[in-house]
Structure formats: structure tokens, C-alpha cells
Structure 1
Amino acid sequence: MSLESGVPTYGMTARPTDGRAQRQFPARTLPDEDSRLLDSLTAARAGNAVAFEAVYRALAPRLLRYARGLVGQDAEDIAAEAWLQIVRDLRKFDGDWDAFRGWAARILRNRAIDHLRAASRRPARVSTLDEIADRPSGDDTAESADESLSTSAAIELIAALPPDQAEAVLLRVVVGLDANSAAAILGKRAGAVRVAAHRGLKALAKRLEAAPGGPSSNDRPSGNAGQTT
């Protein structure tokens, strides 16, 4: 990994991509950005280093924030280890951009758990969902919360939530996965992940409002996580 650029370069060779290969996932219409990243991912799998850099720059900040929520100050080391594995196994990956994000997040999560176990710390992945009786919120708060949950201070707040809520928020809001993808990583049902993310965002909203200078009720977005259904 180049320390100057932060982009893994080993095992990658720049060569032209096959135009036909770039259209191997035409099943659904994608937003322009997702379509561009899918093309970059396809080219990166074929060995194009420039395309891989585009993939890395798009996903690395989200994975690093996810790692911070899992292991705190050791996040950069865990993220680097995860990218080593991603580079090594990229040619074996088969899927679209959303599937790639889930695959990469799973690799990072496994590295984080291994790290915590090696450090003789108990991995904070304990489910408390058995006590949750209410149904998931119908509101998808991921889009409205994305901007406010991107700072290091916000990641620390998320990490202080109950473990199931913290990781649901990290995967749904920070990494940007849908409920089904996050559920597959966590080994839970999509509805349970929605509940955990909703409750976590609701708790975060309360903490932010209670903090000095926190937003007032008049500043809440219409999709406020504090609403219940």
C-alpha cells in the first residue's frame, strides 16, 4: 500500500478493459454515480489500477468510519488489513456495486472481530433484539442522517450505543448498505436490522438534542428518527 496515496497498488496491473465485460450487470437502471462505480469495479477486477483507485476512493472513507465504530483507534490498521484482502480476492468477486460494498464490509468486520479477540477483548456484537416487541419504523432515515453521521465525533457517539444498534447504524448509514445487505453481514433478519438502526438513530437524536448547542425540535428533518410508527 502506498503511504503517500493510501491506495493499495500491489497485485494490480494497468491494462485496457473489455467493453463487453463492463456491461455484465445490466439488470437494473442505476444512478449515474453507481453506474460509473460499477464500470470502475468491473475494470478493476480485470486488473486496471486506475479503475481500482476510483473504487478505493469511493469506498475507503466509509469503511474507515465503520472500522472506527468497531475498534476505535485501531481503525486504520484494520482497514488496511481489510484492503489487503480485498485486493487479493478482488478477481474472485462476482457482483454489482451494492454487492461489492457488502462484501468489503464483511471482510472488514471479520478483521475487526479477529483483532478484538486477539487483543483479549470481547467483540461487541451481542444482540438485544429479543426484547424488542415493536415493529420497524416505516421511515428510512439513512439519507437524512448521512451528513450528520460522517464526523469522527459522530462515530464515537454511534460506538457508544448498544452493540446491535451501533453496528446497524454503521452499516446502514455510514457504509450505506440496504437492510438486506446489512442483515446478511450480521446474520440477522432485515426487519431486525431496521429496528436496531431506527432505535440507534432515535437515541443519537436525543443525545444530540441534549448536548449544549444541540438542534432544537424546529430543526429536525421531516424523517426524524425520533418518530415512532
Structure 2
Amino acid sequence: MHEENLDGALAAAQDGDEAGFAALFHTLQPAVRRYLWVMVGNAVDDVAQETWLQAVRDLPRFRGDSVAFRIWLFRIARNRGVDYLRRVGRRLERPDDEALQERASVHDTVQEVFDGLDLAWALRVLASLPRHQAEALMLRVVAGLDVPQTAQVLGKRPGAVRLATMRGLRTLARHPEVLARQAARRPRPPSARLAGEPSWRTGEVTR
């Protein structure tokens, strides 16, 4: 759903329109679940439900447009995820707070790493990252938030978000499974083809 349509759904939901809230839910729930899956694993459904229950309860007090709503919703999701991790005795990792200039588009870099790969596999690989790196990447790529917006959700400074994002990207780029899949997708030179395999350019068969 385009952002202007999401604004309309938000306004309707705040007026008590169930169809408006349903539009918000169906548009944002997939991203909420993917983010929470990386954060809390198999507890994703319970934590997502807690997130939306709080959103329903607090929506009349929310003020802002659909972009602000997206930030607000993911902040709720993160808070509920942190609560869950505390209940089960797990701790969030915290990145060093040092500045790092963002050298490339996060979406483009992740797209390059995961281009053509299935979502379930990509999420599993992301979940193997340190948690602060996985959260930053999920909010940037899946939720579509920029650095300042992601910083608002995570309660960190933009420099820490950039650092976690770039470290996560470097880790992904070196991940053995990512490297293996990238290598498998590269076209082989003619000399590397097996005998009897047709050339994709000429249709000729190597001898």
C-alpha cells in the first residue's frame, strides 16, 4: 500500500473504522513479523499479537502521519520483544557507539547479497547475526525506515545505527552460505563446462 493510502487507512482507524485498521494490519504485519522473528525467533506470533494489542489500545492517543505510525509501531514491537527476552532471561547485545560513514545504500547492498534467494533462508541468515546488527538491518530494509527513524525505534544515536548496519552488511558479505550461493549463481567460463553441456550462447555442445 502506498504511503498516501496508508495515511487514509490510519485516519479511518483512528476514527474507529475496522476496515482502516485492517488495512494497517495487513500492510504492516508481514514486516512486523519478519523483524520480530529475527529478534525473538519462535515466539514471533505471541510477541506480534502483543504488539498489535497495544497498538489498538493506544491508537486513539497516537498523533502523526503514516511514517510516524510506522516508527511508533516498530518501537512497540521492539519493546514487546525486549520484554519477552527479559522474561526468558536473554539479553540484547549493544554495539559500540562509534561513528561510521554510510558508504552505500543499505537496501542495494542487501539486495545484492540476497538477490534471487528465498525469504526464509535470508531471514535465517540474518538471525545468525549479532542481534543489534540484525535489528538495524531489518528495520532499514524490511520496515523501510531511514537511519534517524531506525534510531528512534532502537533508542540509539544515528551513528550507532550506521555502525551496526555496516558491520551487519560486512558480516553478511562474508557469510559462507551467502558466498556459496553467490558463487553458484555466477556464470561459468566455457572451459569450466562439462563435456556434453550445451553453450547458452550458441547451443553448441562441448567435446
**Interval of TM-score (by shorter of Structure 1 and Structure 2):** 0.7 to 0.9
Aligned twin of 2:125: 157
Q: Is the 8 A contact 1:128 1:164 kept in 2?
A: yes
Give distance in 2, aligned partners of 1:57 and 1:187: 26
1:105–1:204 Cα change, 3 Å: same
The residue type equivalent to 1:194 in the other structure is R
Maintained 8 Å contact 1:136/1:192: no
Q: Deviations over 1:6-48 (max 9, x none)?
A: xxxxxxxxxxxxxxxxxxxxxxxxxx81111111111111111
Aligned mate of 2:74, from 92, 105, 115: 105
**Contact 2:106–2:140, Cα closer than 8 Å, also in 1:** no
Please give the alpha-carbon distance, in whole angstroms, between the structure 2 residues aligned to 1:72 and 1:190. 26
* Percent identity for Structure 1 against Structure 2: 40
- Per-residue displacement from partner, 1:169-201 (whole Å, max 9, x unpaired)? 121112221111111122211122122112212
**Structure 1 segments (4+ residues) deviating >4 Å:** 146-150, 215-219
- Match of 1:140? 105
User: How much does 1:217 deviate?
Assistant: 9.4
Q: How many residues align?
A: 183
CA shift digits 1:126-182 (9 cap, x unpaired): 22324x56x222322225636758822222211211222111112111222111111
Which residue matches 2:95? 128
Q: TM-score, normalised by structure 2?
A: 0.79
Q: TM-score, normalised by structure 1?
A: 0.72
Which residue of the partner structure matches residue 44 of structure 1?
Answer: 13
> Which one has a larger percent helix, Structure 1 or Structure 2?
2
Shift in Å at residue 218 of structure 1? 6.5
CA-based RMSD of the aligned residues comes to 2.4
Structure number with higher relative contact order (C-alpha < 8 Å, ≥ 6 residues apart): 2
- Which deviates the most, 57-66 or 194-203? 194-203
* Unaligned segments of structure 2, at least 5 residues: 188-207
Q: Partners in 2 of 1:187 and 1:52 — Cα distance? A: 26
2:153 maps to 1:185: yes
Aligned AA (2:107): A
